[in-house]
Amino acid sequence: MESRTPFSPSIWNPFWNTDYPATAHEFYYLRDPEYSEYVGSMDLILPEGFGEISSGGEREHTVEGVTQ
């Protein structure tokens, strides 16, 4: 995603980006049970401008959670 690419050129080691705001992701990501403003999502970012190479996240698995 282009919103995370700017970090990559200034970093020299791969890093995990986690704890995304719920408003930045699709409705089907599972919200953090302790901090509902965040979702369980993560991206592996490579350094020197290569950007995101892997991503994942917990998906909402209840009808109520998806339809809210």
Check residue 32 and give left, alpha or beta (phi > 0: left; psi -120 to 50: alpha): beta
pLDDT at 24: 85
Please state the pTM of the whole predicted model. Answer: 0.66
pLDDT at 38: 92
pLDDT at 1: 45
Sequence letter at residue 8: S
DSSP string, 7-46: GGGG-SS-EEEEEEEGGGS-TTBPBPSS-TTEEEEEEEEE
The sign of the torsion formed by the CA atoms of 28, 23, 41, 68 equals: negative
